[in-house]
Amino acid sequence: MTDPLLSDSAGLIALLAGNAALWFYLEKRTGWRLFRYFPPLVFIYMIPAVLSNTGVIPLESPTWDWMRANLLPMFLVLLLLDIDVGAAVRVMGRGVLVMLAGTAGVVLGAPIGFAAVKGWLGPEAWKGYGALAGSWIGGTGNMAAVAEGLDTPGEMFGLAVIADHAVYLVWLPLLLGSKELAPWFNRFTHVDEARLAAMQEAAAALSQDKGRPELRHLLALLALGAGGAYAAAAVAAQLPELPPVLSTSTWRVLLVTTLGIGLSFTPARRIPGSHTVAMALVYLFVGVMGARASVEALAGQGLPFVAGAYLWILIHGAFLLVAARLLRVDVHSAAIASAANIGGAASAPVVAAHHDERLVPVSILMALLGYAVGNYAAFAAAWLCSLVA
């Protein structure tokens, strides 16, 4: 095998960062309809995959190892700083329980969807379903974190990315269209109109603006992220491994998740810029996963993997409907709860704005709650899939 054209660490990081920046720039600048169906995440993953499989950049590199070991805990700490559990519960009330029911649907639906298609998939495909569970409970950051904790092969992570967006193309229009069913849905769930009015009023008064980040803020975020990475790695190395799910990497992800949630209850939550910095690190990490993927393995298992994901999302939807009926929750809250799980912080505000613009701030809080529980619940889903495998 010939040496890659580019193997220097600085060059590799520049390539991944430039690739990610390019697709977000094009999405913002051009408004192409292409990005409705293939968001930047797909290209951020696929371009490095193509480059590594054609010899332009390496499939394996000390640079990739360093980025996997350090970027992941850093972005998890920063991503979880934004969580405000109290505000979400105050505004959404029982809507939070509907979201958690949707999370349960993701956890229990994973092994069912996987069992239906595992005969057409490779022996480590359950790890791909675990990674997808991370995305469907929290978001892209959780997907990357769970994939790293499970040591998911790059091609299985790629299948999770493809399935995520293949299902999203169908599920998002359903969540948006559910607004038209509000009269029927609210009669079906016996929703309390007074509760709905109170929720909308509380949501309208909610403010999420933490101000513009300054130099001291960015330095503090760097210290928190790097400190969290160091502490989690040091403690995880002392804990026992329980295969196939509970490895040192898994412990590290769970520990840094717990640390990030803990910090969200401190004044650190008010530091501006944490979410933006975290997502920049997430997309660099996704680029690394793409660079380590085998395109041949990715192409051969795509159809059955996605088919299992569609069965899986139906189970999530069933859990949501049952919970909304039992808890007497309106269609707006149910749709936002599902969007907060399946689409994360990128989709929940879109669904909220379509249903009721006053609910946009609380939809972000709901998505952040998904970040908080995403890693714990996704590892549970992965464990169930490993039993099926």
CA distances in angstroms from 203 to 210, 319, 324, 362, listed in the order given: 17, 25, 19, 6
Q: Is the pLDDT of residue 199 over 70?
A: no
Rounded CA-CA distance 290/45 in Å is: 5
- pLDDT one-digit tens code per residue, 267-279: 998 899 998 898 8
If one counts every other C-beta atom within 10 angstroms of the C-beta of residue 43, the result is 20
- pLDDT one-digit tens code per residue, 19-55: 999 999 999 899 888 887 788 888 998 899 899 989 9
Find out whether 345 and 61 touch, Cβ atoms under 8 Å: no
Counted residue by residue, the chain has a size of 389
- pLDDT one-digit tens code per residue, 200-239: 666 665 556 678 899 999 999 999 999 998 999 899 999 8
Q: What kind and span of H or E run contains 328?
A: none
Nearest to 386 by CA among 82, 51, 126: 126
Give mean pLDDT, residues 154-167: 89
- In this structure, is the dihedral angle defined by the CA atoms of residues 7, 11, 14 and 18, taken in order, positive or negative? negative
Rounded CA-CA distance 275/75 in Å is: 9
